[in-house]
Amino acid sequence: MPLDHLDPDGEMISLGLIRLQAGDPGRRIGSLVVNPGGPGASGVELAEQAPAIFGSDILDRFDVVGFDPRGVGQSAAVECDDDLDSFFAVDTTPDDTEELEELRTAARDYAESCEEQSGELLAHISTENTARDMDLIREALGEEKLTYLGFSYGTYLGALYAELYPENVRAFVLDGAVDPTLSDEESAIEQSLGFETQFEEFLDTCASERSCRFHSDGDPEAAYDALMQRIDDEGIEGSDGRVLGPGEADIAVVTSLYDGRQGFTVLADALAAAEDGDADPLLALFDLYVGRDPAGNFDGAQASFLGIGCVDGSDRLSAEEHDALAETVGEAAPRFGESGVNLGYACVYWPADPVGRDGPVRATGAPPILVIGTRGDPATPPQWAESLADQLDSGVLLRLDARGHLAYGDGHECIDDLVDDYLITLTVPDDGTTCDP
């Protein structure tokens, strides 16, 4: 691919792709391109997992094609300082000017390391550039029109593609939709509130069930607040010598909230262990989210996440403006708002300017596009799917009445059947159809 799509004959970069060929070539419809979200997650890895996600109807009729977007994984990837233990060790809810300066220094140092190691690439990894890559992938696959399934951030990629190339859309499924009309502040508040709501459901569930390991005599909220204060004050040492601090703990808790009821059990067990002085379960949740292996190596997803997220932003904030945003979001969502915003502090010092845009995506002229929202989705709240389906001239909304992030391929027969039928026959469900879990 051209590094700069405005200079198609200039410097080139490579993309990593993988294809699982259709199981029944005589009934093959075409290629199904997939993206798992992030930004920064690997489409190659998602396609490798296709047999665990898709049923035989899809696997027989489509080649499943995954690619790592520019900036990610096996493609031309963002590279930064790989000592992320110290990067995440800072307190993302600073209590004083000293802790705030530590947060700023860690963010500045990380951004500078990305500039040193990745250079010009950082200015060319926006989602719009990836959408343009995706159309060249369509051409390389020999497809007249594209069939696509995107999860979470992948819905934004799909929506931008449909906006740029509506005439090249065959069937698009956007599961866990992102709302392109939201400002950075609105997006941060609504997502933080999504996690707060999910966490309140966890506390209510744990308080009502004595089998919950963090039941705490019916008051898990007080026990949680006391535990988080203890972690903030002194930390809890893990078996590998790492100290669980407030930044890692917040990430660990949020990680468990992606998975609905199953995540509640995992979270209760991890909090109970931490209360007993065992930080390992919470550290394992943190490691899962940030891509850290037992040897302390990180998978590069954090660099990709920040690299794409920073250039997709609509504004470059000063440190003072960032602090004001963190305070505003923290007031709206007291448990997770401030820490969530401050995980992106490196964008203040990012060497590439933001090129994102706020505003509706219409995809005028595209055929029906299926947009899925899950009632209890903390990461991409259901109102985002409703908004995106309304924006798209041909948007069709499908709801799942369940907890957790994302709907398709997670054992919800109603969702899977409707999506599969659409991908194969182009038959869309009635707008607003709701599936029970």
Paired with 434 in beta bridges are: 399
DSSP secondary structure string for all residues of 251-262: HHHHHHHTTHHH
| Active-site pick, 175, 377, 410, 416 | 377
* Closest C-alpha among 393, 340, 317 to residue 159: 393
Residue in 42, 113, 152, 304 annotated catalytic: 152
Question: What is residue 315's predicted lDDT score, i.e. its pLDDT?
Answer: 85
67: β partners? 17
Task: Establish whether 183 is a catalytic residue.
Answer: no
In 329-389, where do the E strands start and end? 369-376
Q: Convert the pLDDT of each residue in 52-90 to its tens digit.
A: 999 999 999 999 999 999 999 999 999 999 889 999 999
Query: Looking at residue 272, what is its pLDDT?
Result: 98
| Short-list 190, 193, 264, 267, CA closest to 228 | 267
Nearest-angstrom CA–CA distance, 147 and 229:
49
Per-residue pLDDT, 268: 98
Known catalytic residue at 152: yes
pLDDT tens by residue, 321-349: 999 999 999 999 999 999 999 999 999 99
**What size, in residues, is the chain?**
437
Alpha helices by DSSP H, listed for 23-120, are 43-48, 50-53, 56-61, 84-89, 97-118
Given 31, 405, 410, 412, the catalytic residue: 405
Phi-psi category of residue 355: left, alpha or beta, with phi > 0 → left and psi -120 to 50 → alpha? alpha
Q: What domains are defined for the chain?
A: 17-75+125-180+359-435 (3.40.50.1820), 79-119+182-358 (no CATH)
Is 276 catalytic? The answer is no
Collapsing DSSP to helix, strand or coil, 20 comes out as strand
The overall longest dimension of the chain from CA atoms, in Å, is: 68
> Are 398 and 435 spatial neighbours (Cβ–Cβ below 8 Å)?
yes
d(CA 404, CA 429): 22
Per-residue pLDDT of the chain (437 residues; tens, 9 = 90+): 999 999 999 999 999 999 999 999 999 999 999 999 999 999 999 999 999 999 999 999 999 999 999 999 999 999 999 889 999 999 999 999 999 999 999 999 999 999 999 999 999 999 999 999 999 999 999 999 999 999 999 999 999 999 999 999 999 999 999 999 999 999 999 999 999 999 999 999 999 999 999 999 999 999 999 999 999 999 999 999 999 999 999 999 999 999 988 899 999 999 999 999 999 999 999 999 999 999 999 999 999 999 999 999 888 999 999 999 999 999 999 999 999 999 999 999 999 999 987 789 999 999 999 999 999 999 999 999 999 999 999 999 999 999 999 999 999 999 999 999 999 999 999 999 999 98
The angle at the Cα of 394, spanning 391 to 400, to the nearest 5 degrees, equals: 75
Distance CA 218, CA 49 (A): 40
Q: State how far the alpha carbon of 347 is from the alpha carbons of 58, 65, 104, 336, 341, in Å.
A: 40, 31, 11, 19, 10
